[in-house]
Amino acid sequence: AQTVTQSQPEMSVQEAETVTLSCTYDTSESDYYLFWYKQPPSRQMILVIRQEAYKQQNATENRFSVNFQKAAKSFSLKISDSQLGDAAMYFCAYRSRSGNTPLVFGKGTRLSVIA
């Protein structure tokens, strides 16, 4: 079974600075998707970014980018120019490319942004 590990329960960053959240995963599959979800205090789960395992290019969405290292099974999220609204729980998630599989989530990293 696939597992997702987020080794940093809590992180903090100064406003306008850059922070990187770590995620590693374990799978025997070669084709899959990886995601970062954000959960602010409202508890809504918001999709931040998606990476397809067969693509070597790292995904980018505005201030959010990933560093995908397939051989190392690592998928980190970089947040640039951090804003107060970035404060939230961030979950890394894995999904097999085959259709009938759910998302497998890590335990999450709580990010605080300091003004």
- Six-digit token string for 59: 């995904």
Say whether 85 sits in a helix, a strand or coil.
Answer: helix
CB neighbours of residue 103 within 10 Å: 14
Say whether 99 sits in a helix, a strand or coil.
Answer: coil
Q: Single out the residue of 28, 41, 43, 56 in contact with another protein (rule: CB under 8 A).
A: 43
What are the phi and psi torsion angles at 84 (to 5°)? -55, -35
Does 90 help bind another protein (rule: CB under 8 A)?
no
Tell me which stretch binds another protein (CB under 8 A): 20-28, 43-51, 61-69, 75-83: 43-51
Q: Single out the residue of 50, 70, 73, 110 in contact with another protein (rule: CB under 8 A).
A: 50
Tell me which stretch binds another protein (CB under 8 A): 12-20, 54-62, 76-84, 101-109: 101-109
